[in-house]
Structure 1
């Protein structure tokens, strides 16, 4: 029952996204018919909407005097 509900929810989300993308493409097509300059401005990315700054080290330095576990395996399965 839960998997059917989640499947229907997923399909509904996909249909909604399809409708949104279709409407957006129709609006852009109409804008292109009206003005190529406005269309060119509309399809450009706005990098100020989601600012992203990278500061600091790109990698984490190793911890000094850290004894890393060697990955010992303890078998806890039952013996029959």
Structure 2
């Protein structure tokens, strides 16, 4: 009878611990989802900014080449 009581107490204790751990796991999973979402958003912004910089760089290089072509004959003479 005493053994049954100890087993029951132990079982209840383990059930409480398991429930606590499940709560912790859910909290960690939730936080992980938030971090992933934040990372994805920052990555998208970074990629967008990079594409914009590449466009500006390309446009600037085209303008520079045009200016070089216009100035080359003047420099040679």
TM-score range, shorter chain: 0.3 to 0.5
TM-score w.r.t. length of structure 1: 0.43
Which structure is higher in RCO with an 8 Å CA cutoff and minimum separation 6?
Answer: 1
Higher helix share: 2
Structure number with greater Rg is 2
TM-score w.r.t. length of structure 2: 0.45
